[in-house]
């Protein structure tokens, strides 16, 4: 169809969590305990106000890998959670009634990455067993069944739930392949109205996809309530799915994995070659194909693949779900991947990672990749990399074309079977498998006409509706709003994000929204009298242009009567990894050593304090990594808004420095404030010790909630579970503070410090740590310098000091450490290898 002049092509991408900092970058969704998809039908009436009513209590029935982690994430959201499982007696074993559930819960508390935000969240989970405690589900607003994959057992559990649950409770089921509507057979009409399928991807805390599966009987209010709660309070990307085997995410994602496996077993590509071509190069997770399979568990992969093969007898590509011989042999030999320390890969005692030889079933030394991927990596952004790979005439290009065209054709043929919308299919795969682009976004990136032509050339069938998609793409911007091609209507339809999820891309496209900018930052008008300072430097580091720009932006906001206040944030992979060390090194080289950057350090401190003491509210909104100077900026904000997945800390000692952007001073002041307003050194010392250890050990809070408990972020911090809502919440916070009549916090003029007496206790502990081999001699030296600042420098006795006094001590120590050879070695290691050096 013709496209009017207001339409522009939009690359449809899904923001993914960067979870490297909690050692999850190499893991992908576990495709286990996966619910079947249900057709998104309801009983037809419009949703009411009850649809936004939050859940306060929940019961999770089944404490296995998924059940215990679902319970953990519900507790993260503030719910009181009852976690139940069977007794040992019920499965023919000896033991106390709660042994199984207690063992599962204990395992969950030790998982890495952690399913809980903090130890406090763990206390919101109570444990019980099916025999003695089932009646306690009567107190739950939401009952989630996560038991064994047998229809008869699930139906028995549903009968017990109907007997004991509140008549207003929402009931949902997780299943890896059983039809949702059959699970509720035999239940009353009232029960069926409150029943639906819900699918958390594993690990539930970290993976965004949440597939919700209503049955034809599900009440519209129930569907809306669960969807809204999952989006707002659990931080999920919600996709409504149909009742087909393995719904959307796993149906397409598993097909993609099996397509890559086919290239290994039938086309002569090595494991190493395939992983080089299916990871970050094409916008997928670093774990690529075979490492992902090992992390998921090969037995799990076989289970899900067999389930798909059995469940889709009419799928024209069903043969792709036949388990290949090499995979079957590995599972038979109990070589299941990471959990058995051998799968497609095995790490030997010599630390060499070898891969399986499908002929001998032995592990061979790593094979050389038969092509050069460096040129593809250097091509530019993801669209550029995909394009050059697609056009490549070598083996790399052949692999990419074969697998990509096959997947795109399969994805098109699954509409409308598994979903009516290309956008929902893309969202499910991207959110569930960590892809930057879903299949239809990839299709757009390669060119709609180009892909159609190639599909025809190689004989891959596509449904008739594909021929009608305009050349502009599946996803476009029309009249300032995102639109997606709708095959059923043969036209573009609006595909708006929720009103409280908005980003900066569209704002940037209209110059009228830009109040001010320089090369690395801009001040944007985000409406309602609120501005947003966005910094865009490399890795969002805090160099001079960013920091000078921040001061200028605050000045403009303070002097503009039409502006209420300002947000500080960005859409980078991380909020900020800290100050620009490259600038520091360059400044030292061009000037008189460390002294040359003294003005920059002082200016950095002054800028951080401008955030704190601005006369209009400055709300810093964080996400993902927030390190060093980025942490100090967030600490300075009196009312920050933090995405739940904020990994924040003062890590300067790792590069041989101390926090000197006011961070050391702020942690010292917070310790004193936490000491119950007492001025007695004996009561301040424990709090100061905690702050000292946090900095000295470069501890990073692994959630915003933990950051508050560690006193890195203030108690006033608003934690936003859904990161994409952080700008909306921050804007509302600026408006609230402005309406109340904003006053900045008072200057800290009387910070208690402990002097030499308090410092002596730190020195004793540091000596013992060094003697025990826990820290190096230089670590001891650095920590002593930190203690010197936190206890007031040369002061011999406890005293109260002005914050400016401690800022000066920060600068003095920071600059002195820059002159140390070992610190320079640590900085050079970070800049050249991105790895810390312990010297």
Please state the pTM of the whole predicted model.
0.90
Say which residues have a Cβ less than 8 Å from residue 503's Cβ, sequence separation at least 6: 571, 724, 727
φ/ψ of 345, rounded to 5, equals -115, 155
pLDDT for residue 665 is more than 60: yes
Paired tokens of 439: 């299949």
Q: Per-residue confidence at 47, pLDDT binned at 50, 70, 90?
A: low
Paired tokens of 825: 């070695």
Q: Per-residue confidence at 682, pLDDT binned at 50, 70, 90?
A: low
DSSP letter for 834, please: S
Beta bridge partner(s), residue 646: 624
* pLDDT at residue 21, rounded to an integer: 34
Instruction: Read off the pLDDT of each residue in 44-62 and give the average, rounded to a whole number.
Output: 81
**Count of Cβ atoms closer than 10 Å to residue 512 Cβ:** 7
* pLDDT at residue 512, rounded to an integer: 86
Paired tokens of 307: 């389930």
* pLDDT at residue 149, rounded to an integer: 84
pLDDT for residue 701 is more than 80: yes
pLDDT for residue 17 is more than 50: no
pLDDT for residue 89 is more than 50: yes
pLDDT for residue 45 is more than 70: no
Closest listed residue to residue 204, CA positions, set 144, 246, 162, 245: 144
User: What's the 3-state SS for 83-136?
Assistant: EEECCHHHHCCCCCCCHHHHHHHHHHHCCCCCCCCCHHHHCCEEEEEHHHHHHH
* pLDDT at residue 680, rounded to an integer: 65
Q: Per-residue confidence at 504, pLDDT binned at 50, 70, 90?
A: confident
Closest listed residue to residue 697, CA positions, set 579, 822, 783, 593: 783
User: Which strands sit side by side in the sheet containing 530-535, from one edge to the other?
Assistant: 514-517, 521-525, 530-535, 565-568, 618-627, 641-649, 718-720
pLDDT for residue 41 is more than 60: no
* pLDDT at residue 584, rounded to an integer: 81
In angstroms, how far is CA 87 from the centroid of its own chain? 35
Alpha-carbon span 239 to 226, nearest angstrom: 11
**Count of Cβ atoms closer than 10 Å to residue 464 Cβ:** 7
Considering the chain, what percentage of its residues have pLDDT values greater than 70?
93
Alpha-carbon span 611 to 636, nearest angstrom: 6
Alpha-carbon span 109 to 236, nearest angstrom: 22
* pLDDT at residue 677, rounded to an integer: 64
Q: Are 156 and 186 in contact (CB under 8 A)?
A: no
* pLDDT at residue 505, rounded to an integer: 76
* pLDDT at residue 681, rounded to an integer: 58
Average pLDDT, the chain: 91
Instruction: Read off the pLDDT of each residue in 572-577 and give the average, rounded to a whole number.
Output: 94
* pLDDT at residue 107, rounded to an integer: 95
Closest listed residue to residue 249, CA positions, set 200, 178, 292, 321: 200
Q: What's the burial of 575, exposed, middle or buried (CB within 10 Å: 0-12/13-18/19+)?
A: buried
* pLDDT at residue 25, rounded to an integer: 34
Q: Are 76 and 705 in contact (CB under 8 A)?
A: yes
* pLDDT at residue 742, rounded to an integer: 97
Paired tokens of 360: 């001998």
pLDDT for residue 116 is more than 90: yes
Q: Per-residue confidence at 175, pLDDT binned at 50, 70, 90?
A: confident
Closest listed residue to residue 626, CA positions, set 743, 742, 710: 710
* pLDDT at residue 4, rounded to an integer: 32
Q: Are 297 and 339 in contact (CB under 8 A)?
A: yes
């Amino acid at each position: 169809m013709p496209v009017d002049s207001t339409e522009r092509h939009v690359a449809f991408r899904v923001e993914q969590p960067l979870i490297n900092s909690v050692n999850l970058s190499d893991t992908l969704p576990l495709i286990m305990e996966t619910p079947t998809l249900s057709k998104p039908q309801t009983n037809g009436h419009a949703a009411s106000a009850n649809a936004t009513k939050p859940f306060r209590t929940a019961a999770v029935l089944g404490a296995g890998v998924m059940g215990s982690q679902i319970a953990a994430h519900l507790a993260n959201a503030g719910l009181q959670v009852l976690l139940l499982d069977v007794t040992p007696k019920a499965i023919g074993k000896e033991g106390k009634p709660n042994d199984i559930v207690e063992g599962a819960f204990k395992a969950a508390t030790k998982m890495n990455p952690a399913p809980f935000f903090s130890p406090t969240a763990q206390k919101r989970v109570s444990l019980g067993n099916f025999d003695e405690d089932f009646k306690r589900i009567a107190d739950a607003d939401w009952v989630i069944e996560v038991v064994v994959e047998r229809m008869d057992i699930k139906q028995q559990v549903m009968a017990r739930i109907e007997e004991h649950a509140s008549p207003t409770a929402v009931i949902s089921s997780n299943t890896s392949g059983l039809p949702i509507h059959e699970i509720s057979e035999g239940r009353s009409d009232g029960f069926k109205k409150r029943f639906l399928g819900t699918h958390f991807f594993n690990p539930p805390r970290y993976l965004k996809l949440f597939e919700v599966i209503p049955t034809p009987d599900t009440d519209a209010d129930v569907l809306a309530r669960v969807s809204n709660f999952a989006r707002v309070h659990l931080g999920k990307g919600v996709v409504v799915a149909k009742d087909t085997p393995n719904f959307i995410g796993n149906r397409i994602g598993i097909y993609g994995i099996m397509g890559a496996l086919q290239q290994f077993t039938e086309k002569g590509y090595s494991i190493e070659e395939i992983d080089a071509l299916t990871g970050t190069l094409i916008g997928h997770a670093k774990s690529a194909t075979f490492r992902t399979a090992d992390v998921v568990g090969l037995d799990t992969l076989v289970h899900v693949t067999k389930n798909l093969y059995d469940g889709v007898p009419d799928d024209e590509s069903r043969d792709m779900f036949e388990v290949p011989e090499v995979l079957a042999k590995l599972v038979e030999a109990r070589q299941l991947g990471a959990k058995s320390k051998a799968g497609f890969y095995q790490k030997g005692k010599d630390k060499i990672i070898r891969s399986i030889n499908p002929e001998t079933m032995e592990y061979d030394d790593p094979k050389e990749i038969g092509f050069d991927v460096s040129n593809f990596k250097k091509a530019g952004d993801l669209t550029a990399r995909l394009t050059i790979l697609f056009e490549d005439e070598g083996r790399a290009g052949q692999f990419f074309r074969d697998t990509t065209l096959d997947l795109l054709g399969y994805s098109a043929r699954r509409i409308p079977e598994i979903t009516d919308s290309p956008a929902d299919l893309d969202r499910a795969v991207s959110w569930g498998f960590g892809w930057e682009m879903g299949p239809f976004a990839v299709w757009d990136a390669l060119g709609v006409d180009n892909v159609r032509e190639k599909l025809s050339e190689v004989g891959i069938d596509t449904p008739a509706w594909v021929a009608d998609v305009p050349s502009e793409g599946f996803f476009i911007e029309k009249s300032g709003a995102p639109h997606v091609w709708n095959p059923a209507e043969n036209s573009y339809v609006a595909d708006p994000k929720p009103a409280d999820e908005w980003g900066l891309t569209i704002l940037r496209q209209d110059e009228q929204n830009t109040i001010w900018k320089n090369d690395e930052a801009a001040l944007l008008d985000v409406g309602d009298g609120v501005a947003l300072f966005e910094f865009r430097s490399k890795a969002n580091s805090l160099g001079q242009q960013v920091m000078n720009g921040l001061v200028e932006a605050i000045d403009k906001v303070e002097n503009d009567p039409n502006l209420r206040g300002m947000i500080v944030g960005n859409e980078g992979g991380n909020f900020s990894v800290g100050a620009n060390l490259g600038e520091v090194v360059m400044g030292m080289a061009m000037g008189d050593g460390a002294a040359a950057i003294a003005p920059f350090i002082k200016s950095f401190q002054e800028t951080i304090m401008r955030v704190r003491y601005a006369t209009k509210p400055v709300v810093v909104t964080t996400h993902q990594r927030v390190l060093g100077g980025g942490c100090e900026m967030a600490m300075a904000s009196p009312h920050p808004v933090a995405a739940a997945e904020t990994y924040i800390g003062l890590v300067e000692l790792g590069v041989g420095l101390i926090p000197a952007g006011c961070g050391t001073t702020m942690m010292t002041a917070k310790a004193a404030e936490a000491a119950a307003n007492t001025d007695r050194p004996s009561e301040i010392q424990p709090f100061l010790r905690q702050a000292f250890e946090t900095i000295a050990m470069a501890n990073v809070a692994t959630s915003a909630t933990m950051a508050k408990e560690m006193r890195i972020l203030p108690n006033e911090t608003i934690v936003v579970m859904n990161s994409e809502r952080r700008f909306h919440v921050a804007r509302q916070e600026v408006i609230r503070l402005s309406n109340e009549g904003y006053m900045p916090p008072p200057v800290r003029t009387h910070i208690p410090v402990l002097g030499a007496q308090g410092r002596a206790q730190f020195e004793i502990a540091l000596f013992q740590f060094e003697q025990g081999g826990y820290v190096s001699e230089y670590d001891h030296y650095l920590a002593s310098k930190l203690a010197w600042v936190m206890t007031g420098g040369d002061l011999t006795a406890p005293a109260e000091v002005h914050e400016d006094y401690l800022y000066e001590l920060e600068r003095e120590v920071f600059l002195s450490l820059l002159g140390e050879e070992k610190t320079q070695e640590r900085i050079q290691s970070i800049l050249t290898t991105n790895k810390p050096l312990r010297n």
